Amino acid sequence: MTSRTIKLGGTDTMVGAVAHGLMLMTWTPNPVSDEQAFESIKAGVDALPSGTKAFLNSGEFYAMDRGTANLQLLSRFYSKYPEYADKTYVSVKGSIRGGMEFLRASVENIQSALGPNKKLDLFEPARIDRDTPIETIMSNLVTLVKEGKFSHIGLSECNANTLRKANAVHPVTAVEIEVSPWAYDENQKAVISTARELGVTVVAYSPLGKGYLTGQIKSTSDIPEGDIRSGLTRFKEGNFKSNWGIVEGLQSIAAKKGVTPAQLSIAWVASLGPHMLPLPGSSKSSRTLENLYAGDIKLSAEEVKAIEDILAVYPVVGDRYFGGAEQALLWG
């Protein structure tokens, strides 16, 4: 049983201090079985205090064909275990277009795939549409909330100024950005600071550096064929080796503290503020629990400083994604 919980921004909803990312249950050449996926989800829910919901993160396009396989998996889960609907809070990323016709189609497609046993809790455009003013995007989302399509509004990959403008239209419950020991630059710092000021939860995705910071991927040959990570610049051969000093440093600190490197990274993200909600992914119940228990780990000032020192010695090499046109979609 884990103990720490957090309240989602601007709501009365209490969730576990570590969220559960579901992407790689389906966005992989070899999707996991329903049995394994369901046990992974249930393990996280069952370890939470009574009255606390598990924050589950899905996407309209989390599949190799960019389809709704992830949501369909959740639909089967809630069909088999309807009692878990009220014990979970589902956040889903959808359309990157901000016009009403695109947002409505996305939300309706999500709910259709999610099925009748679970209502969408939070919807967030997967990226900020730079061709549509954020005020217009928010007004469109507010209309959909009033229609009962979903309960809360989230944003993804937005900058601090956009978050402030959006929140002035309607309270934003959560903002999802990448945060980890190797993804903590000025943009992250600005969003985290602004979110805290505004009372917005920061859902910090990839707190384990897409698995790299766990130390379990020891070379590029450990990445399965077809895995999306094989195209990421930080996982390219030369960069992979250059960044390994970060992993070794984290392993040393984790060993001294008696935790895993994954737990250390999650605890570090959580240490950035009471509004931080680390979002590691997991498709195994054992890993779900390992991640969840990291929410109860407290880092000393000395341990935080030691992590900062490692990052100063080993600056990260490579972009956050593929080093191409997708960079223009970040920090909208």
Mean pLDDT of 201-217: 91
Q: Please report, for residues 172, 200, 208, 269, 286, the alpha-carbon distance to residue 194 in angstroms, rounded to integers and kept in the order given.
A: 12, 8, 23, 16, 35
* Domain contains 206: yes
Which helix (H) or strand (E) covers residue 287, if one does? helix 285-293
Asked whether residue 22 is assigned to any structural domain, the reply reads yes
The total number of structural domains in the chain stands at 1
What residues contact 212, with CB distance under 8 A and at least 6 apart? 182, 234, 235, 240, 243, 247
SS3 297: coil
pLDDT at 324: 61
* 133 in a structural domain: yes
Instruction: Please indicate whether residue 62 is annotated as part of the active site.
Output: yes
Confidence of residue 329 (pLDDT cuts 50, 70, 90): low
Determine, yes or no, domain membership for 19.
yes
Residue 332: predicted pLDDT = 82
According to DSSP, the β-strands at 5-7 and 201-205 are unpaired
**Structural domain span for residue 67:** 5-210+262-297
Residue of 62, 84, 89, 321 marked catalytic: 62
Asked if residue 188 is part of any domain, the answer here is yes
Report whether pLDDT(84) > 80. Answer: yes
| Encoded tokens for 59 | 């996407």
**Residue 304 covered by a domain:** no
- What CATH number is associated with residue 196? 3.20.20.100
Residue position matching structure tokens 């999610």? 114
pLDDT confidence of residue 236: 77
Q: Report d(CA 185, CA 189) in Å as an integer.
A: 6
For residue 110, the model assigns a pLDDT of 99
pLDDT category of residue 325 using cuts at 50, 70 and 90: low
Whether 217 maps to a domain, the answer reads no
Distance CA(291)–CA(130), nearest Å, equals 35
Q: Which amino acid is located at 317 in the chain?
A: V
pTM, two decimal places: 0.94
Is 55 part of a structural domain of the chain?
Answer: yes
Average pLDDT over residues 82-96: 98
